[in-house]
Structure formats: structure tokens, C-alpha cells
Amino acid sequence: MADLESIYYPEKLAGGFSRHCGTLQFFQRVHALLRPGDKVLDFGAGRGVGHQEGSDYSRRLRNLQGEGRHVIGVDVDPVVKSNPSLDEAFVLDHDGPLPFPDATFDLIVSDFAFEHVDVPENVARELDRVLKPGGWLCARATNRYGYVAVANRIIPKRFRRKLASTANPTHGEEDVFVAHYRMNTFGALRRLFPLGRYEHACFAFDSEPQYHFGRRSIFVLLMAVHQFTPRNLRNTLMCYLHKRANAG
């Protein structure tokens, strides 16, 4: 993948990332919202593979620690205990309550976890409960209506994990999880985090082609598809939800 990206995005030579890097798009805005001393929840933190791969700059951006902040990660997978970018880690029951008091966190970040949520009403209620009024919920998620999610729903379940890791060699089979696509549309987010309680600053985005099997022809075809994809059908949702200060 790196060779193909370098051919079509030569700016990667300067810093290791392209003009369409989704990680930079998401985490630069997260850092713009972070403050010294914030208490931060990483929802669906996983093993922190993104903190160990990619350019030095993108790894630094993913790390939310420093300036007196306290970063807590939660996940249903015990592998979260090995995540090196957390100050504390908790293993959750599936769709169970979060083990924190009300209004604990100044900022919640969730990177490609919302598409895996099975009961979104429970998760949204818990995230709202532990987020302070005036705090931010920042989520990057696969768009249910993008071609990646559509293809994943069409492909028989028994082939999905192997095919996904083959199409995108940067993801091992251990990093491919069951997706339910119940919490990853603009409409679902407006329903779960209503406008009377949250300000929504969200957009859809296409990064560099990711699922191309290492083939130049597929990479170029997907680049063309991205150029003409309607806004709401792009593959990634970048969501920044501001809990209103009067939301008690």
C-alpha cells in the first residue's frame, strides 16, 4: 500500500502522510478540542494498533496523553489492557454500563468503533451519561452507506475477515471485527444524540483507497470513484458532537 500511495500522493515524502489522510483529518480536530488537564475516554480503544503504525506524526496525533490529561480506554476485548497509550483500561460487558460516575469526562473519542455497536441506544445513553455538559464526543466511523460497508454486508460472513485483511494488508485478521452498522449514519447520530441536547459538527470523508489488494488498477479506479462520490456516500463519518452546557 505504501508504494502505491507514494506514487499517487508524492507529498507523503514530506512527513509520511497524504493530503487525504483520514487519521490527520480526525485527530487534528480532536487535538484542537483537547485542553490541559482533561479527563478523556477512549471508547473502543482496542490494542492501540494505530499508535504503533503509520508515520511518526500520525502516531503522535493519536496519543492524547500529556499536559496533565488522564486517558482511560474501554473495550469489550481484553486486549485493551495492552494498549500502550492509556493511563487506565477497563474491559466491558457487551453493551453493558460504563464503570464511571455521571459527568466524568471532558472529551470522549471513538475511532472506528461505532459501526460495531449492537445496541446503539444503550451505548449512546451511557456515553451521554458520562460526558460532562459542555464536553465533546468525537467519533470516526465507517459510513453505513459507503461502498466499503455495502460490500461488507453483501459478502458472506465466512469470507469477510480473510477478504478484508487481504484487501487491506495493513489490517491483520485480528483487527477485523463484526460490524452491525446501527450507529454509523448521520440520521442515527441525530436520533441518538438529539439536536436539542447536542450541537452536531459532522461531515463525510474519503481517505486514500484502502481496500485495493495491492493492485494498481484497483487503486486508480477507487481514486476515480472517490472523486465523484456524493458527500453522504463517502466511506468515513467524521463526527464532533458538542454536549450543550445546559444539558443536565
pLDDT of residue 153: 85
The pLDDT tens digits for 144-165 are 999 999 988 887 776 666 666 6
The pLDDT tens digits for 63-87 are 999 999 999 999 999 999 999 999 9
Nearest Cα residue to 30 out of 70, 64, 65: 64
Q: Which residues pair with 242 in a beta bridge?
A: 136, 199
Residues 6+ away with beta carbon under 8 Å from 121: 192
Q: What is the mean pLDDT of residues 35-44?
A: 98
Residue-wise DSSP of 1-52: -HHHHHHH-GGGGTTS--TT-HHHHHHHHHHHH--TT-EEEEET-TT-GGGT
Which percentage of the chain shows pLDDT scores above 90? 77
Q: Is residue 79 part of a domain?
A: yes
Q: Please state, in angstroms and rounded to a whole number, the distance separating the CA atoms of residues 206 and 237.
A: 9
Q: Please state, in angstroms and rounded to a whole number, the distance separating the CA atoms of residues 238 and 38.
A: 21
Q: Is residue 248 part of a domain?
A: no
Say how many domains are in the chain. 1
Confidence tier at 1 by pLDDT (50, 70, 90): very low
Q: Is residue 65 part of a domain?
A: yes
Q: Is residue 214 part of a domain?
A: yes
For residue 97, what is its C-alpha cell? 454500563
Q: Is residue 45 part of a domain?
A: yes
pLDDT of residue 193: 98
> Is the confidence at residue 237, as pLDDT, over 70?
yes
> Is the confidence at residue 172, as pLDDT, over 60?
no
The pLDDT tens digits for 197-212 are 999 999 999 999 988 8
CATH at residue 239: 3.40.50.150
The pLDDT tens digits for 45-61 are 999 877 777 788 999 99
Q: Please state, in angstroms and rounded to a whole number, the distance separating the CA atoms of residues 127 and 129.
A: 5
Q: Is residue 119 part of a domain?
A: yes
Nearest Cα residue to 181 out of 216, 217, 151, 211: 151
Nearest Cα residue to 243 out of 203, 195, 202: 195
Q: Please state, in angstroms and rounded to a whole number, the distance separating the CA atoms of residues 157 and 141.
A: 20
CB 149 within 8 A of CB 121: no
Question: In what order do the strands lie in the sheet containing 236-243?
Answer: 88-91, 70-75, 39-43, 105-111, 131-142, 236-243, 198-205
Q: What is the mean pLDDT of residues 178-196?
A: 95
- DSSP state letter for 93: P
Domain residue limits at 38:
2-243
Q: Is residue 103 part of a domain?
A: yes
Q: Please state, in angstroms and rounded to a whole number, the distance separating the CA atoms of residues 50 and 117.
A: 20
Q: Is residue 186 part of a domain?
A: yes
What size, in residues, is the chain? 248
> Is the confidence at residue 242, as pLDDT, over 50?
yes
pLDDT of residue 79: 95
Q: What is the mean pLDDT of residues 120-136?
A: 97
